[in-house]
Structure formats: structure tokens, C-alpha cells
């Protein structure tokens, strides 16, 4: 796998209280060509091309994912449907990669901590899936996580079989192929919504935290729930007023919107009082 290319940096978003910008950074690992087989919808890959790979990955947005089964380090079968009900962050790695995959995993861990701090410890789940199915056994995936000190609640490192990986890769737009150095692949992190549909793709091994946290915010706070009007209102407030502070590397609640709203209400109130008094004075003069 080549690791020379770095993800494109993007400007940080405007304050989300007013507008949330979608952020997209390219982190594709090599070059080449992708051909699509329209009969099976399975990519026939000869090498990896930046534009075609990104297009294929983005075309997966909105795709539903089937109830695939994976295996954890204890040998237990984990079904994808078991993650339904909350967003799911998916990282595709192979354990014999010595550069980009470890960098991506370590960076993802730091961003997951930022997101959990902002959204809650149980607000979303994370899985890392080994796509080198002959090598990335559940035990190997567990060792991979342990070697990197990844011990975060709600984060599973899973193995699977080749048939499942092929099908899941098509659904999520993940492309990879064998090369002299191991595998060339997209440095792709996929976000599924609570119903298992592909909601967002994040690219690169060192992406800006808001690229992942913002779509998670939208899913956690933006989706209608069953907790009532007050809860929905509070979720909307958190959605637009929880902003990323690059200086601290954390999300914080921005109270400035309430100051601006208060100032606006006071201004409108003063104008209303002025208009009412003018109208009252005019009516009084007419009756005099």
C-alpha cells in the first residue's frame, strides 16, 4: 500500500450556529483505473484512479447495507443489524499494513474521543473491519487493536470472510486490490445512519475532526426521536450550537447565538414599543 499522498486539507467550517458546511478531503492512496461491471455491480479493478475511485465511493451514499455477519476476537458472530438504532463509523484496514492503516486507526481514535466528548459515550458505535480476509482473523484484529492501545468502549475490531467483504465493499463503495506492497485502497471511513444506510464518506488518514463529527452530530441530534417536543428542541439547539474549537481540539457549546437572539428580541421590542406609541399618539390626536 502506498502512503505518499496525504488527504487534501479543507478550510474549517463557518460557525455551525449559522451554517454547517459539508467537508470533503481526498485521501486516496495510489493511481490507476477502475472499470464497473454493470451486470454484477462489482468493480473490476486493474489499478486505483483518484477520480474514478472517489466517484465510486461517493456513488454508495444512500445505499442500504445488508445484515452481514462478522466475527469478534472471542469467536462470536456479530451481525450488522446489531448496530442499528445509532450511527455506525466503519474503518477498513488490513493488519499487515505498516503505515497508512496504523496512522488512520490512531487518528480515528483521537477523533472518536472528541466526538464522544461532544455527543456522549453511547451516541454512536465504531467498527474496524479487516479486508485482507485470509490474514485478518479476529485474533489478529484483536492484537492489532491492543498493539495500538485502542481500548474504547463501543469499538469492535472484526474479521470476516471474502464473500461478505466483497458484498459489503460494494454496498459501502470501498475499493481495494492486491499490489506488490500488500494492498492499494481508499483511506476511507464510512458513516452509516441508524438504519444502516451510507450517510457520509470521510477520506484520508489525518482528516480534520469536524469531517467526521459534523455528520455524526447531524445524525445524533438531527434525526427525529421519540422523546417528545422538548427533547427534539434541545437536540436542535445542540446540533447548531455545538462547535469545534481548533485551539483546544474539542467541541464546545456556543452561547453566542442566544446573545444574538436576545439582542434581536430586545431590538424588535424597542421598535414595537415605538410603533405602538406612535400609533396611540396618532389615534389620540384624531379624537382630540
Specify the pLDDT at position 165.
Answer: 97
Neighbours of 231 (CB within 10 A): 11
Q: What is the pLDDT of residues 105-123, one digit of tens each?
A: 999 999 999 999 999 999 9
Cell numbers at 207, concatenated: 482528516
Specify the pLDDT at position 48.
Answer: 60
Nearest Cα neighbor of 173 from 4, 282, 251, 57 is 57
Task: Give the phi and the psi of residue 94 in degrees, each rounded to 5.
Answer: -135, 140
| Furthest C-alpha separation in the chain | 98
User: Domain map of the chain by residue range?
Assistant: 34-253
Specify the pLDDT at position 276.
Answer: 82
Specify the pLDDT at position 60.
Answer: 97
Q: What is the pLDDT of residues 13-43, one digit of tens each?
A: 444 443 433 333 334 333 333 333 333 344 5
Specify the pLDDT at position 169.
Answer: 97
SS3 260: helix
In CATH, the number for domain 34-253 is 3.40.30.10
Specify the pLDDT at position 242.
Answer: 54
Specify the pLDDT at position 69.
Answer: 97
**Distance separating alpha carbons of residues 256 and 20, to the nearest angstrom:** 16
Specify the pLDDT at position 241.
Answer: 57
pTM of the predicted structure, to 2 decimals: 0.67
Specify the pLDDT at position 232.
Answer: 42
Specify the pLDDT at position 281.
Answer: 75
Specify the pLDDT at position 255.
Answer: 54
Specify the pLDDT at position 258.
Answer: 56
Element (H, E) at 130: strand 125-130
Mean pLDDT per 10-residue interval, the chain, length 288 residues: 45 42 38 36 54 90 98 94 97 93 96 95 97 96 94 96 97 90 89 98 94 95 55 45 59 57 75 81 72
Specify the pLDDT at position 24.
Answer: 35
**Distance separating alpha carbons of residues 73 and 96, to the nearest angstrom:** 17
Amino acid at each position: 500500500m502506498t502512503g505518499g499522498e496525504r488527504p487534501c486539507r479543507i478550510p474549517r467550517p463557518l460557525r455551525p450556529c449559522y451554517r454547517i458546511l459539508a467537508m470533503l478531503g481526498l485521501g486516496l492512496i495510489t493511481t490507476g483505473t477502475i472499470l464497473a461491471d454493470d451486470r454484477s455491480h462489482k468493480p473490476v479493478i486493474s489499478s486505483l484512479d483518484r477520480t474514478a475511485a472517489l466517484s465510486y465511493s461517493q456513488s454508495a451514499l444512500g445505499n442500504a447495507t445488508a445484515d452481514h455477519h462478522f466475527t469478534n476476537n472471542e469467536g462470536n458472530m456479530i451481525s450488522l443489524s446489531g448496530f442499528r438504532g445509532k450511527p455506525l463509523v466503519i474503518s477498513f484496514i488490513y493488519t499487515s499494513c505498516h503505515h497508512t492503516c496504523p496512522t488512520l486507526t490512531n487518528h480515528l481514535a483521537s477523533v472518536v474521543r472528541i466526538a464522544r466528548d461532544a455527543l456522549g459515550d453511547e451516541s454512536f458505535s465504531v467498527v474496524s473491519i479487516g479486508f485482507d480476509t485470509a490474514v485478518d482473523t479476529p485474533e489478529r484484529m484483536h492484537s492489532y487493536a491492543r498493539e495500538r492501545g485502542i481500548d474504547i468502549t463501543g469499538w469492535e475490531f472484526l474479521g470476516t470472510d471474502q464473500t461478505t467483504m466483497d458484498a459489503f465493499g460494494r454496498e459501502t463503495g470501498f475499493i481495494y486490490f492486491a499490489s506488490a506492497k500488500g494492498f492499494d485502497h481508499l483511506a476511507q471511513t464510512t458513516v452509516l445512519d441508524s438504519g444502516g444506510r451510507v450517510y457520509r464518506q470521510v477520506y484520508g488518514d489525518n482528516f480534520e475532526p469536524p469531517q467526521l463529527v459534523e455528520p455524526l452530530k447531524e445524525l445524533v441530534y438531527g434525526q427525529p426521536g421519540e422523546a417528545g417536543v422538548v427533547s427534539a428542541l434541545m437536540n436542535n439547539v445542540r446540533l447548531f450550537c455545538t462547535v469545534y474549537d481548533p485551539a483546544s481540539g474539542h467541541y464546545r457549546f456556543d452561547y453566542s447565538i442566544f446573545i444574538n437572539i436576545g439582542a434581536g428580541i430586545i431590538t424588535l421590542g424597542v421598535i414595537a414599543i415605538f410603533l405602538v406609541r406612535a400609533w396611540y399618539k396618532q389615534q389620540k390626536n384624531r379624537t382630540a
